[in-house]
Amino acid sequence: MSTVGTGGDEDSVGGDEKSGDKDKSDVNAPVTDSYRSLTKREEDDIRQFLDELDEESTLLNAAQLTERLQEQLAHIEGTNVHSIMSSESQVLSLMTTLDSAIERAELLEKQLNIYYSFLEEVEDAMSTLRDHDQLIQTTVDNRANLLNVLEKLVDRLDVDPKYFHVLMKGDLSTSDGIARCIEAAGYLDRLLNSEFKEGEEHLQAVDERMQELRNLRDSFATKLSGFVNDAMLRYASQLGFVVNTGISMPSSDTMSTISNNQSGVGGGGGGSRKTSMMITSSFRVASDLYAVQRTDLLQLTPLVGNWLQANRKDLYIGIKRMYIEKSQNFFKRQIQEVLKCTQDSVANLVRPGKSKEIQRLENMPSDVGSVMSLHNLDSNLLTQVESIFDSCFDKILTLIRTEQAFLNQFFGFHLNASQIEKSHNTVMYKNYKGDELSTLFDCMVHLFDSVEQDVLNLITHCEQLQSILIMPLLITISRITENEITLTSSSSSLSSPSQQTTTTNLDNSNSSNGIGNTSQLRLESQDSDKIPMTYIANFLSRLTIETKRAFNRLVERLIISFKTSKPCKKVRCGVLSMVRTYIEFAECSMTVFSKSSRLVDLERAHRELVRCLMTEIDRVASRSVKTPGEVVQLENYHRLCDILRRLKMSSLDDYRQDAKNRYTLALQEYTKTCMGRPLEKLASFFENVQSALDAGVRSEVVSYQFAFSKQELRKVIKEYPGKEVKHGLESLCKKVEKHLSDEENLFPVVWRSIQTEFITQCLRFSNLIQQCYPDSGIQLEFTITDLQNYFTEIACSR
């Protein structure tokens, strides 16, 4: 045991020495490549060896230890050699055993090959049996699948007798019958639009069944189309009878009056005035009947707007054409009735002889009235006229909106194109023509083709009746247009695909507006991309353009009247007729445009009118014969400044300042012209003195010249005593009074200007006396205080 252990130790040590030698031979090799951890046995041998060293205290140096290890290694190697030599017979026995095993394995391999050949034959037989079994199972499965497909195909294409009976003999005149027809049509639609697997559509039985279903569809579509067309003809006949015969509801009154009490605004036309727009009872009856008829037709919406549009486009288009053709006359008559009532109501308001104010204004100069009868209207009347226009367009637009909403729902314009064309069985028939009514806008254009011209006739009528009526008409149409555009924009921004089941009232009005109760009509599935109020917005925009043109013509006529205005032949010209015309135009515009956002048009008109007016005021002033031109400018620019200040338009600031400057200049010019050369000899004397001073003559030398001597000065001063000066001022006052008109009350202004100029001149005289004649004791016969008293006394004596 000790020998084996020692041998193990020596072997281990020898191994370590060999490893050490290897490490020495391969110095550059990485440490990780030469390192090998000790096995458990090696570790135990080393520990045993070290323990033995502790027991043998004689082995205390390396040389002795090395020698001892070498001896043990040599002993172990010898022992190993003897062991190998003694095991040679055992090796030979092992080799013999291996050869026998190899021969046995070869025999087994041959036997396995024989068995494998047998198994191959069995495998082929089993594979054949398995394929045959799979074929049988596939056949069974195919037959089962075929039976299942045929059963489903029959179920999909077989018409329920209940629905077949409804489609063939269904009643469309009752609500229950319509509901059953809608259900049956939906059922038929599902059959026709059934999804077929590839190849099924080529089966003869399927093709024959689909043809039978299409025939059933066409039969029901023809029946539905005939019923709807008959209903439309009947409804159109009823409406035509009501409109043409003027039938009215049981009532003692034959007229319905929509009144709006408005208080007058000052002047002779003040007091309470009643704005009435007369609407015939037949209009209201026709409107109520229209609402009832549309409610009845809306019950057919799922059949016409949805089903028929998707399945029989030709019949659907025929219904649209029939509806448009038969309904045009009704809407034309209704709108013409509203417009006629509007014209009559406006004519009753502006007809002469309605008030003392109008009677007074009728006596105004004819040269203004011939151009534009502004004097027949005051601001109160314009307000009432505007309310009439509001009522008129409210009725017209309510009628149009109601019809637009009905068309949109009944004919399914709100549906997406994918929804309309989803049916695979839609057929284009030989008699199918292009749909000129493919959009809601197209239908509205054809249905209300005469409305625009009728409203344009209203504009022309108002323009001929009173040109100033264009202003409230423009404001009304512009306001309605802006509201419509805002409503359309907000509706488009709020609409979304998730809101397509939202319902909207078609008519928010009640029976008092003459359209009847249409609250039962509802609009479904509104899509902002498909149903913007484009027709109404387009219609109102065109009306706005035409009304603006009429307003421009009004401005042009005013400008022409200004340019053709003639100078006044009176001594007191006063305010020119063209200035009066502009002032009344401006006052009317302030009333009408006070709450309007269309100030751009008004400001442009005022700029053109004021620019022309100032030019023509100067022209008339320059040609004035009896009245000084400065007075004409003074009084008219004074009035013009006043109205421009009251207009409070920032765009007119430059014109207002220009008018003020012209007024100031005219006042200065008239003051100088009117005064002439007061105290003429005295003024001439001091002008010569001033000229001498300007020529370089010293002030103390002036009095020594003969022409400017003190004696000459005293002589001139004596000619103008205070009494004489006061008398001259009184004559000047009478002259001014003769020129100025009473209505402008500009005498105090002119008189104050004359006073200032006169006193300034006298002060200049006094200063020259002090400068050139000092210590002479010479002074004017009157003082500045005397002059102020003279002017005050004369002004108070008027």
3-class state of residue 607 by DSSP: helix
Same domain? For 368 and 477 the reply is yes
pLDDT at 379: 65
Three-class HEC string of 461-475: HHHHHCHHHHHHHHH
Range of 791's domain? 678-797
Q: For residues 670 and 762, what is the distance between their CA atoms, to the nearest angstrom?
A: 19
Q: For residues 445 and 416, what is the distance between their CA atoms, to the nearest angstrom?
A: 21
- Name the residue among 154, 401, 209, 348 with its Cα closest to residue 217: 209
- Name the residue among 562, 332, 569, 558 with its Cα closest to residue 449: 332
Same domain? For 599 and 698 the reply is no
pLDDT at 324: 92
693, two tokens: 């001073």
For residue 214, tell me if it sits in a domain.
no
CA atoms within 13 A on the CB side of 523: 21
778, two tokens: 């010479």
> How many separate domains does the chain show?
5
- Going from the C-alpha of 359 to that of each of 369, 375, 452, the distances in angstroms are 13, 9, 36
* Residue 335 one-letter amino acid: I
Q: For residues 613 and 620, what is the distance between their CA atoms, to the nearest angstrom?
A: 10
269, two tokens: 């036309």
**Of 157, 183, 213, the domain-final residue:** 157
Same domain? For 396 and 470 the reply is yes
> Does the predicted TM-score (pTM) go above 0.85?
no
For residue 557, tell me if it sits in a domain.
no
> 633 near 620, Cβ under 8 Å?
no
598, two tokens: 């269309």
Task: Identify the DSSP state of 363.
Answer: T
* Residue 278 one-letter amino acid: M
Rounded to the nearest 5 percent, the helix, strand and coil shares of the chain are 75, 5, 25
For residue 281, tell me if it sits in a domain.
yes
Same domain? For 366 and 513 the reply is yes
What is the distance of C-alpha 432 from the center of its chain? Answer: 38
Q: What are phi and psi of 285, to 5 degrees?
A: -65, -45
* Residue 26 one-letter amino acid: D
Same domain? For 131 and 280 the reply is no
Helix axes of 534-563 and 577-592: crossing angle, nearest 10 degrees: 160
H/E stretch holding 551 reads helix 534-563
Measured CA angle at 685 (ends 683, 688), to 5 deg: 105
Same domain? For 470 and 492 the reply is yes
Same domain? For 400 and 428 the reply is yes
Same domain? For 33 and 145 the reply is no
Q: For residues 410 and 404, what is the distance between their CA atoms, to the nearest angstrom?
A: 10
Same domain? For 298 and 428 the reply is yes
10, two tokens: 């020596």
Mean per-residue pLDDT pooled into runs of 10, the chain (798 residues): 39 41 43 70 82 62 80 86 79 85 90 86 83 88 82 73 86 90 87 71 74 87 92 89 63 35 35 49 83 90 89 91 91 90 87 44 38 53 87 92 91 66 44 66 89 91 88 89 80 47 35 37 38 74 92 93 84 85 89 78 92 93 86 93 91 93 93 85 89 87 83 89 90 89 87 92 90 86 90 86
Name 504's bridge partners: 523
**Of 68, 86, 104, the domain-final residue:** 86
Q: For residues 783 and 765, what is the distance between their CA atoms, to the nearest angstrom?
A: 11
Q: For residues 675 and 664, what is the distance between their CA atoms, to the nearest angstrom?
A: 17
Same domain? For 694 and 768 the reply is yes
Same domain? For 455 and 501 the reply is yes
Rg, the chain, Cα only: 59
**Of 36, 65, 86, the domain-final residue:** 86
- Going from the C-alpha of 172 to that of each of 74, 220, 223, 407, the distances in angstroms are 126, 11, 9, 20
Same domain? For 694 and 632 the reply is no
Task: Look at the chain and count its residues.
Answer: 798
Three-class HEC string of 193-220: CCCCCCCHHHCHHHHHHHHHHHHHHHHH
**E-strand spans in 645-731?**
none
> 788 near 752, Cβ under 8 Å?
no
798, two tokens: 């008027």
pLDDT at 200: 64
DSSP H helices, 193-312, are 204-245, 281-298, 301, 309-311
Q: For residues 265 and 381, what is the distance between their CA atoms, to the nearest angstrom?
A: 9
